[in-house]
Structure formats: C-alpha cells, structure tokens
Structure 1
Amino acid sequence: MNGLSELIDSLEVKFFKLNQKLVQLEKKNQELQQLLDKSAVVAAKQNKEIAQLQSQLDNLKMVNSLLGSDENKRETKLKINSLIREIDYCIAQLSD
C-alpha cells in the first residue's frame, strides 16, 4: 500500500505542475492574442493612412501637372479623359 500512496502523491504533484503550466500557457496565449489584436488595429490604421497619403500624392501630381509641370502630364490627361467619360455616361443616363 505504501508504494501505491507514493505513486498517487507523485501523480498529484505532476498533475498540479501540469495544471500550473496550463494556466501559464493560457495566460500567455491570452496576452499574445491581445497583442495580435492591437497589432491588427495598428495595421488597419496604417493602411488607411497609406491610402489617404497615396490619394494626396495623386492629387498633388495632378495639380502639379496642371500648373505646367511636364511630369505626370500623361497621367493627368488620362484622369481628365476618365472624368469626361464618367460625365458623358451620367448625361446619357439622365437623357434616357
């Protein structure tokens, strides 16, 4: 019987250690999940800011070319032509 009680005590100690390890791992997992969520929010904000800055850059390029700069003239002409096509389409839709 003595060997059996020692075995049970040993199992209890091992179970306790495993349970502590499980709790620690769950806590670490939760911390990492929170960090991941925060990183996702930061990445989304940065992507939104990048899109805004890209839009501002495109607008500045267009304005710069309209002011006489030879750079980006082709892009500006294409954009103007695209806007004209959109306006023509809207006029056609209104005419129907």
Structure 2
Amino acid sequence: MLVYQNIERFIFVSVIIFLFLLLVRIYKPEMLQDLENNFSELERKISTLQKNYKNLTENLKELSIEHEELKKKYDEERRKNQVLAEEQKNIKLYSAISGNPEHNRLMKNHINRLVKEIDFCIAQLQNSGL
C-alpha cells in the first residue's frame, strides 16, 4: 500500500515536472533537452522499480507458501519425535520390569518420581482441607 502511495506521489511530481518543462521550453529552451533526458531517466527507473516490486511480491508469496509447508512438516516431525521418545521411555521401563539389570536404576528412579508425585498430591489434598 505504501509503495502505491509513493508511486502516486511520484506521478504527481512527474506531472509537475512536465509542467515545469513546458515553462522552461518557453523561457529557456537550451535547458529543455537536459530536463527531458532526466525525466526520461526517472521514468525508466520508475518502471524498473515497479517491475522489481512486482517480482519481489511474487517471491514473497511463494516463500510464504513454502514457509507454511515447512512449518507443517516441522510440527509433524516434532510430534513424531515426541511419540518416539515416549515409546523409547516405555521400552526402557518394560525392560526394567522384565528384569534387565541395565535398566534397574531407571526403574527405581521412575518409581521414586511416581512416589514423589503421589506425595505431592496427598500434601495438596491435605492443605486444601479434603
């Protein structure tokens, strides 16, 4: 939106310059050619800027779409990682339960953590007056 406002301002200024050129033609014809060349150069630059702006907005749209797709893939992979981490945790616990000596410490830690959670819940219930 801001670019369009700037373009509108530029067009307005261009019209003013054109009117100025007409006045110069009347009063100082030798300056006219230089001013016309400058004006033509400005028009060429504006055209180039408009093309560049259009290309950049198209690229931005494409990149936004690609960003959304990558964001969805990332979220999906993150969910898969969470599921796999939970499954790995469960496998270690099942191994510890089945008597695997490597995972006995893990099982003890898990049981201690559960006992602490239960104690915390009991303390909250007692504090709440139930």
The normalised TM-score by structure 1 is 0.81
- In 2, distance between residues paired with 1:2 and 1:92? 92
- In 1, distance between residues paired with 2:48 and 2:42? 10
Count the aligned residue pairs. Answer: 96
Higher RCO (CA 8 Å, separation ≥ 6 residues):
1
Q: What is the deviation of 1:44?
A: 1.9
The superposition leaves residues 50-91 of structure 1 with CA deviations (integer Å, 9 ceiling, x where unpaired) of 111101100111011101212221011110111122223333
Give the gaps of 5 or more residues in structure 2.
Answer: 1-31
Give the gaps of 5 or more residues in structure 1.
Answer: none
The DSSP-based 3-state class of the residue aligned with 2:102 is: coil
Q: Percent same amino acid among aligned pairs?
A: 27
| CA radius of gyration, larger in | 2
- In 1, distance between residues paired with 2:67 and 2:112? 44
Say whether residues 1:31 and 2:68 are aligned partners. Answer: no
Say whether residues 1:80 and 2:111 are aligned partners. Answer: yes
The normalised TM-score by structure 2 is 0.63
